[in-house]
Structure 1
């Protein structure tokens, strides 16, 4: 769940254009039809009042003729502008969406921004504007904000990672009053937002319709955090608040926690990597009592948080609608785990739980993991790199049998799994919903690979889409062979990773031929990771032939064969 620039960028990839008809055409079609209907009514009225008198050739052209000429001229101008607008969007490879202008990750230039601004007078009903991930937008935002009054029905404005300047964010603050219906504002990944939050959000008054506010990695200051705490009571419609990756706001959490008590409609709260401390848990727990509708809570990557849960967080247990809880990389202590054992099983609606990268859980989480059986709605369980021991892994395996909805299961970097995968046999047989299984760096052995093969042979794991077996260098060629001979049974598989550790290079055995054969029988497969496997010339030639003659759409990610 770590938020990275790369992930956000990939989310914003352009999609192929499916129609040459621009969204501007659709915007303007309604107004053109209304205009035509009005002209028709006018023509009808003119005919009724003319008494059908013969025209005089010496008279001035009839009003009807003048109206037709004017209408024709306007339609020509409108058509020209519509064509230019369509060409602009087509040039950027963007698909038309009603009432939305999505130009994220388009490498916009200053000239493009000017063209976009020229569009705004023709889009009075525009509700969504997204120009995120365009670095060159920085310094040009005033061109847009000066015309913001033309799109005063705007509900969503996304400006993430635009390298906004100080002048940009100040201009934005002044322009927000022109869009009173704004519901979504994203300024993430803009460092100049830090220190300027009061200037930007000062126009948000009581009655504001803001529902989503995202300020991820904006270099927010402690003063910004204090202002946010004072602003929150004004944002009565707020449902999503993301202040992640702002390490300096931990010192102002007292103000933020006080403000949260007035946001009863909040559904998502993300404070990942915000410099939270042990004391922060107490402050937030006091606020949780007022957030009965909270669905998602992310406190991950706050390494100083460890020990904060040792005093039982009573209000956390009252979040009965909580669906996502992310506590990965929080340095949880044995005392934290004991307290969470009393809390987490009470969150009966929990669907996603991430406890990864808390290495002290290894010897103290047996009771917690065994009680996960009381979370039947759980869909995603991430416990990678928790230094699990045989006893704790056994408790987890026994509990996982009672998780019928499980779709994502990540046990990576827990060495105890190797040689003990048989403990998960019943889970693998019963988990009809499992789509993602990650067992990277688990010290798997040939016996474990044989177990996976037997599960596949009996028709289980039928919905598996992603399987990560990377960094298991201890599996011998026989183990890879039995696995590759049966992997073709996973008909919905899209990604498979069997890469070796960065420090390891190893000759690829004859099992690679079984893998190539299996791939031809996997209709959904798109990527196979096998970095640092060394292909002999004969097998490399077979792969080249395969790429050329069969399924070139499949990517073998090898990082360059040695």
Structure 2
């Protein structure tokens, strides 16, 4: 997985120095030497682990890591720490220190450590997406006893070392109030999970545990199965993108039977197989509170639902079901047809990228009308056929969808009128994705007519990209009417990567429409070529309308 890193700016007004000092000066007086006694009782000792060279370097610059001894020293240190936070573009909050994606250096980590004695009431510490934290975390964990009220600890994508994760395992004993722990995207967690969570005790307050893409081993999975019965308060468990834990799913499922408070279970891309459906189904009857289930991107799962008489049927409170890219078979669809309509609380359903269900899902899609709470329906790249699309169009008339994705289903082209008839009654649709649907000129003309009559008034995102068969006349009709969508923020009419075309006269209509769309920010027009005259039109538009509207034209410009 990738993360787009954005540099935080410290421009703008800053808080008065006194307000920052007062916030922390009051909180620092609340707690006497109780922290020292907690340190002793938990046995947190620096000598437990041999520091690496980077950690030793960090230790050498921690000249302000101990609690201040005088008000003058406190004030001086507050001033330095305020400057530190301003440099990172962050504000001081007494119970929250959020340094997520701040490009922290080794020296910055040392300053974070220096802050800890001033934050005895800190409840949230987030230093995720800072690569250079790796190798220096021990300097933080050695002082966890100073923030014993911590409830949220996020260390995602910090390139933690083996020494870091082992030290963290010892330090967790010093923060008994912890409710959320995120160690995602740290590969060294894999193989070391028992060392990290060894201090978790019966009655643990942890409610959220996220271990996404941590390179967990089958042994880690088995350990997790043993740990889950201890975590009675667990509500969110995310083990996604750990492809080796599928073989230990039986142990995990056994543990899940003891987590009756679990509300979210994510096993996206975990190497699950056909047998996994039956193994999980045995645990589902114990998860009465489960609201969100993600089994997506487990390509070997296909065929597993047909072996279970009523998979998922016991999840009466389920609100989100994600079976995206699970290689569902025709028999799977038959089995799910009996169950999904019974999930009356379902709000989001994702069946995308299951191409084998295209010709066998007519009954399933027609029964979606029995899901009154359904708000999001994702069916992109499902190889839908005319009969299944007709059944879907008829069922959608009974739904109050907010998100509807039919992209990459070629059968929509030339048949969009079936869906538009149903959408006439829609007053809630906010996102409509019809990318690469082989739409023709008549389709966009009918869509324009529907828009003109005031329907789809709440639409915020409209994706019509990769529909190269629409002629200039069709785009002209569409652009002349798109201004009726006053809530629209994003429009995409890009061409396929293999295509390049000159913009027609409709581009002028589009610019005119944009001036009447108060919320529009992004217009995708990749591979449309603007001749010199139209480039000049666009320049004049930007000069006259300084609203920061981004036209993404991409390559092939003259």
TM-score, L = length of structure 2: 0.90
Instruction: Pick the aligned partner of 2:389 from 389, 393, 403.
Output: 393
Instruction: Pick the aligned partner of 1:414 from 399, 409, 415.
Output: 409
Is 1:442 aligned to residue 440 of structure 2? no
TM-superposed CA distance for 1:425, in Å, is 2.0
Query: What are the superposed Cα offsets for residues 309-359 of structure 1, whole Å, 9 maximum, x if unpaired?
Result: 002353511111100000000000000000000010000000000000000
Query: What are the superposed Cα offsets for residues 458-503 of structure 1, whole Å, 9 maximum, x if unpaired?
Result: 1111111100000000000000000000111111110000000000
* Residue 33 to residue 224, structure 1, CA distance change in 2 (3 Å): closer
Residue in 2 that maps onto 1:128: 124
TM-superposed CA distance for 1:180, in Å, is 0.7
Residue in 2 that maps onto 1:285: 281
* In 1: Cα distance, 2:15 partner to 2:389 partner: 56
Is 1:503 aligned to residue 505 of structure 2? no
Q: Where does 1:457-496 land on structure 2 (aligned, <5 Å)?
A: 457-496=452-491
* Residue 15 to residue 181, structure 1, CA distance change in 2 (3 Å): farther
Instruction: Pick the aligned partner of 1:212 from 208, 212, 223.
Output: 208
Residue in 2 that maps onto 1:246: 242
Query: 8 Å contact 1:281–1:309 — kept in the other structure?
Result: yes
State the secondary structure of the residue aligned to 1:206. Answer: coil
Query: What are the superposed Cα offsets for residues 106-147 of structure 1, whole Å, 9 maximum, x if unpaired?
Result: 000000000010000000000000000000100000010011
Is 1:547 aligned to residue 556 of structure 2? no
Q: How many residues align?
A: 519
Q: Where does 1:13-92 land on structure 2 (aligned, <5 Å)?
A: 19-21=14-16, 24-25=20-21, 27-28=23-24, 30-31=26-27, 74-92=70-88
Query: 8 Å contact 2:440–2:469 — kept in the other structure?
Result: yes
Query: 8 Å contact 2:155–2:184 — kept in the other structure?
Result: yes
Q: Where does 1:264-279 land on structure 2 (aligned, <5 Å)?
A: 264-279=260-275
* In 1: Cα distance, 2:440 partner to 2:536 partner: 29
Residue in 2 that maps onto 1:6: 3
Residue in 2 that maps onto 1:55: none
Two-structure CA RMSD over aligned residues (Å): 1.9
Structure possessing the higher radius of gyration over alpha carbons: 1
Instruction: Pick the aligned partner of 1:430 from 422, 425, 428.
Output: 425
* In 2: Cα distance, 1:497 partner to 1:553 partner: 17
Query: 8 Å contact 2:305–2:311 — kept in the other structure?
Result: no
* In 2: Cα distance, 1:556 partner to 1:187 partner: 37
Question: Mean alpha-carbon deviation: is it higher for 304-313 or for 105-114?
Answer: 304-313
Query: 8 Å contact 1:14–1:106 — kept in the other structure?
Result: no
* In 1: Cα distance, 2:394 partner to 2:114 partner: 63
TM-superposed CA distance for 1:416, in Å, is 0.5
* Residue 391 to residue 17, structure 1, CA distance change in 2 (3 Å): farther
TM-superposed CA distance for 1:34, in Å, is 8.2
* Residue 13 to residue 478, structure 1, CA distance change in 2 (3 Å): farther
Query: What are the superposed Cα offsets for residues 193-242 of structure 1, whole Å, 9 maximum, x if unpaired?
Result: 11000110111011111100000000111111010011100100000000
TM-superposed CA distance for 1:31, in Å, is 4.4
* Residue 418 to residue 18, structure 1, CA distance change in 2 (3 Å): farther
Q: Where does 1:191-230 land on structure 2 (aligned, <5 Å)?
A: 191-230=187-226
* Residue 238 to residue 139, structure 1, CA distance change in 2 (3 Å): same
* Residue 33 to residue 190, structure 1, CA distance change in 2 (3 Å): closer
Is 1:536 aligned to residue 531 of structure 2? yes
TM-superposed CA distance for 1:384, in Å, is 0.3
State the secondary structure of the residue aligned to 1:486. Answer: helix
* In 2: Cα distance, 1:163 partner to 1:172 partner: 14
TM-superposed CA distance for 1:506, in Å, is 0.7
TM-superposed CA distance for 1:28, in Å, is 1.9
Query: 8 Å contact 2:123–2:152 — kept in the other structure?
Result: yes
* In 2: Cα distance, 1:119 partner to 1:512 partner: 55
Is 1:108 aligned to residue 104 of structure 2? yes
Query: 8 Å contact 1:17–1:93 — kept in the other structure?
Result: no
TM-superposed CA distance for 1:549, in Å, is 2.7
* In 1: Cα distance, 2:403 partner to 2:10 partner: 27
State the secondary structure of the residue aligned to 1:316. Answer: coil
Residue in 2 that maps onto 1:56: none
* In 2: Cα distance, 1:204 partner to 1:178 partner: 11
Instruction: Pick the aligned partner of 1:178 from 149, 164, 174.
Output: 174
Gaps of 5+ in 2: 32-68
Query: 8 Å contact 1:286–1:315 — kept in the other structure?
Result: no
